[in-house]
Amino acid sequence: MAKIKMRLNKDEDAICTCCKNGRDLSLDMYDVKIGNVYFTICDTCNETLLAKSLRASCLTNGRLKSKEDIAIIRRRGRSKYEIWNMKVSFDKLPSKYWSDKVKIEYIQRRVIVFCIMYYRLNTSCISDRDFDELSKQLVELQSNKKDVAKQTKYYYALYDYDGSTGFHVYNRLNNSDKEYLLLIAKNVLSIKGLI
Ligand SMILES: [Zn+2]
């Protein structure tokens, strides 16, 4: 049987291998080593992995790890990270090696999450100036890489986004994207203590 080792990842720029989220959208990141393979995984993906593969035998102090346990662990970790810095730098590893598509989708997701906070939850955790800067980054990327942009996950909601307003963005999303991105928005606000 392959040996599995796991430790907390302390790298500020860590990116989850599964969902490509960075530390700003994660409570914890883990380095996992299985046999000779290393990867970094966020708490959310790790939970999914655990839930899928170890549901029956994942024990904490001799008892099954319950949803309530996981909620406690999540709450405990929440204050640890100062989150959501604005303009995204793709100069650092490993995002340096991301494809343009992944980069655009990463920024799209942020922009949508902020639009949801602002227009749907009537609150925000960033300044207008920071949001403008992020919007500008998206507008530039989408217009410089038009062919790539058209293939991206959220293009259908952001194809005419010019940074002036994100009022309509949420309503354009399909139901599963609505649900997913609203959850992220709420999660970020709750980590910040804003809801
Ligand atoms: Zn992940």
Please give the Cα distance from 83 to 188 (Å, whole number): 8
Position 123 confidence tier, pLDDT thresholds 50, 70, 90: confident
Q: How far is CA 105 from CA 2, 10, 22, 150, in A?
A: 34, 25, 13, 11
What are the tens digits of pLDDT across the range 99-112?
A: 889 889 989 999 99
- List, in sequence order, every residue forming a beta bridge with 4; answer none if it has no partner: 34
Please give the Cα distance from 92 to 123 (Å, whole number): 30
Determine the distance separating the centroid of ligand 1 and the alpha carbon of 189, expressed in angstroms. 19
Class of residue 90 by CB neighbours under 10 A (exposed 0-12, middle 13-18, buried 19+): middle
Determine the distance separating the centroid of ligand 1 and the alpha carbon of 19, expressed in angstroms. 4
Q: Name which of 124, 113, 126 is nearest 195 in CA terms.
A: 124
Q: Percent of the chain, pLDDT > 90?
A: 32
Residue 82's pLDDT is 37
Whether the full predicted model's pTM is greater than 0.75, yes or no, is: no
Determine the distance separating the centroid of ligand 1 and the alpha carbon of 46, expressed in angstroms. 7
**Torsions phi, psi for 67 (to 5 deg):** -55, -40
Determine the distance separating the centroid of ligand 1 and the alpha carbon of 41, expressed in angstroms. 5
Determine the distance separating the centroid of ligand 1 and the alpha carbon of 43, expressed in angstroms. 7
Determine the distance separating the centroid of ligand 1 and the alpha carbon of 51, expressed in angstroms. 14
Determine the distance separating the centroid of ligand 1 and the alpha carbon of 125, expressed in angstroms. 22
**Contact of 42 with 28, CB cutoff 8 Å:** yes
Position 44 confidence tier, pLDDT thresholds 50, 70, 90: confident
Please give the Cα distance from 187 to 24 (Å, whole number): 11
**Contact of 59 with 53, CB cutoff 8 Å:** no
